[in-house]
Structure 1
Amino acid sequence: MIYTITFNPALDYVVRVHDFKLGEVNRTSYEEVYPGGKGINVSIVLKNLDEKNIALGYIAGFTGDEIERKVKSFGCSTDFIKLSNGMSRINVKLKSKEESEINGQGPNISDNDLEQLYKKLDLLQKGDILVLAGSIPKTLPKNIYEIIMEKLSKKEIKFIVDATGELLLNVLKYSPFLIKPNHHELAELFNVTIKNEEDIIKYAKKLKEMGARNVLISRAADGAIFINEDNEVIKSRAPKGRVINSVGAGDSMVAGFIAGYLKNERLDEAFKMGVATGSASAFSEGLATKEKVYELLNEIL
């Protein structure tokens, strides 16, 4: 089974304004409310690709109830922990000539709440996939991903980590099956300026030396670079299309990689599926659909 964890899910209020004017009344030309959070995005796209999974995490208040309702409306299975206080956050995604975001803070998560999650994770079995994606609330230990992976380290679970900074660096010693920083995050990890593909490959290989089994570097319109567990470098250009939505494209790439890998455990095909799925979300108002993914996959194969 595939599990995703979203520690701080949200309702994403997505609005489009033709020409946003600061300090004035602006009227939308498009608006929609989606369940948000990197793990949730992965879960939804996996379900769109016919891969069963369970979304874990924390919800609170009426916004939390709506998050769960919307996630289930996509056909996903959930096992969220309902917090007794606070409310799940609302994030505003403003699309105009430039994209802007206002992200809420979210509820507090106590030690007792964490223990409930650990009990759920104790039920994972050998061969399961656990996706740890996104930032974490301030009320949680900064090394929470590390704590989880240490607790489950003997279960032979495939960990997939899509995080940044110390959150990512600290878990490399547990040999995650896949990590997916983008090229900007890669530069930040090593405090360097990345000028070309050779630099990307150089620092991606350093992440492998630090413990990661497979490293996928997303590059937006420039495609992606993949370093597999045999240290083979595979490159892919992004399919042609008009970028409509950058929200969730990276999460979709992770979901596509997982779905592609589960077909026959071929890493090269998983990589191509990941690129197609990330692009499918970027070229759509919402998250990638199966039809759009396979349409773009034909351009990559």
Structure 2
Amino acid sequence: MIYTVTFNPAIDYVVRLDSPLEVGEVNRARGEDCVLGGKGINVSGVLAELGCQSVALGFVAGETGAWLERGLAAQGIQTDFIHLAQGMTRINVKIKAGQETELNGAGPNIPESAMQALEAKLDALQNGDILILAGSIPASLAQTTYERLLARLEGRGVRAVVDATRDLLVNVLPFHPFLIKPNNHELGEIVGRVLNTEDEIVAAARTLQEKGARNVLVSMAGDGALLLDEQGQTHRIGCPKGKVVNSVGAGDSMVAGFVAGYLQSGDYTTALRLGTACGSATAFSLGLAKKEEIEKLLLTI
């Protein structure tokens, strides 16, 4: 089974205006949408499009949390959230008026008792299961939370996938995650230099592999992606042609596609192709990738 963790899920309230936002004035929207989000939830959503069952874990609170939970169930996404007694699941306001303005909510505080409840759920994971940890850690939790969870699972045969930045990513490497997915800029930040060539990206990825990562998947936006696998092989793939209209969730979609592709084939080249198709399909869409668009792009790469 695949499990995703979203510590601070959100309802994105997206408002569209016909003219620029006027601060201090009444602005009339021409339309609005509510999008249920969070990096782990995005991964679960794309996995569902690919026919891969997953369980979305994390924390929800209040009526907004109940709404998010019902909405995900309606999308066919299985959840097993921990319900917090205080606070409310955050609402992020996204105002699209030529330029985009965002106001992101803080979300509820997560007490130690809730973390222990999450750990109890993770104790049920078995050999061969996949745990996907993605995104930042909320302010109410220690920045060592990823390490805490992976240390608890160490030696159990659970394959961890981590999509995070800087120290959050570097500090989990001793636990030998199955996959990490920095982009080329994040990889450069980790090694302390700008990566200008493919050889430099490969060398930087290898340093993370030497520190414990089994597979390093580096996304490079319009330049495609590069994978350094656990056998030491380098795989390179370009990006399919299309117009980028949305970068939100593209990295999460790539993670979902890679994991699904590997589980279905056991082959890293196949996993990289499906991951790239999923990431591109989201980038070329207003929302997360849909099965039809993923399949169409797969034929072109």
- TM-score, normalised on structure 2? 0.95
Q: Is the 8 A contact 2:60 2:88 kept in 1?
A: yes
Q: Does 1:2 align with 2:5?
A: no
Aligned to 1:257: 258
The CA deviation at 1:28 is 3.9
- Deviation of residue 223 (structure 1)? 1.2
The amino acid of 1:125's aligned partner reads: Q
TM-superposed deviation, 1:290: 1.0
Equivalent-residue separation in structure 1 for 2:87 and 2:11 (angstroms): 14
Aligned-residue offset at 1:107: 0.4
Aligned residues: 300
SS at match of 2:299: helix
2:284 is matched by which residue type in structure 1?
F
Q: Which runs of 5+ in 2 are unaligned?
A: none
What is the CA distance between 1:187 and its match in structure 2?
A: 1.7
TM-score, with length taken from structure 1: 0.95
In 1, Cα distance between the equivalents of 2:256 and 2:136?
18
Q: Does 229-238 or 278-287 show the bigger shift?
A: 229-238
Runs of at least 5 residues in structure 1 that lack an aligned partner in the other structure? none
Q: Residue type of the partner of 1:54? A: V
Counterpart residue number, 1:294: 295
Q: Deviations over 1:75-110 (max 9, x none)?
A: 011000000000111112344544443221110011
Is 1:89 the counterpart of 2:102 in the alignment? no
Change (3 A) 1:29 1:226: farther
Shift of 1:17: 3.7
Kindly indicate whether the alpha-carbon contact (under 8 Å) linking 1:34 and 1:70 is maintained by their aligned counterparts in 2.
no
Structure 1 pair 266/30, CA: closer, same or farther in 2 (3 Å)? Answer: farther
How many Å separate the matches in 2 of 1:262 and 1:149?
A: 21
Structure 2 matches for 1:92-107, cutoff 5 A? 92-107=93-108
Aligned ranges 1:1-301 → 2 under 5 Å: 1-23=1-23, 25-300=26-301
Q: Over residues 202-261 of structure 1, what are the superposed CA-to-partner deviations in whole Å (9 max), with x where a residue is unaligned? A: 211111111111111111122111111122111111111111111111100000011111
Considering only aligned residues, what root-mean-square deviation do their CA atoms show, in Å? 1.5
Alpha-carbon shift at residue 27 of structure 1 (Å): 4.2
Could you tell me how far 1:25 is from its partner in structure 2? 4.7
CA distance in 1, matches of 2:101, 2:206: 33
| Change over 3 Å in CA distance of 1:279–1:16 after alignment to 2 | farther
Instruction: Note the alpha carbon deviations across 1:137-171, whole angstroms, 9 max, x for none.
Output: 11111111101001001110110000111111100
Instruction: State the secondary structure of the residue aligned to 2:263.
Output: helix
Letter of the 1:45 partner, please give it: V
Identity across matched positions, percent: 52
**Runs of 4+ with deviation above 6 angstroms:** none
Secondary structure of residue in 2 paired with 1:299: coil
- Structure 1 residues 162 and 240: CA distance shift in structure 2, 3 A: same
Q: For structure 1, which segment, 49-58 or 187-196, has the greater mean C-alpha deviation from structure 2 after superposition?
A: 187-196
**Contact 2:8 2:138 survives alignment (8 Å):** yes
Cα deviation for residue 21 of structure 1 reads 3.6
Change (3 A) 1:95 1:109: same
1:75 aligns to what SS in structure 2? coil
Q: Which moved more, 1:155-164 or 1:194-203?
A: 194-203
| Contact 2:21 2:97 (C-alpha < 8 Å) held by counterparts | no
- Deviation, structure 1 residue 184: 1.8
Distance in 1 between residues matched to 2:18 and 2:237, nearest whole Å: 33
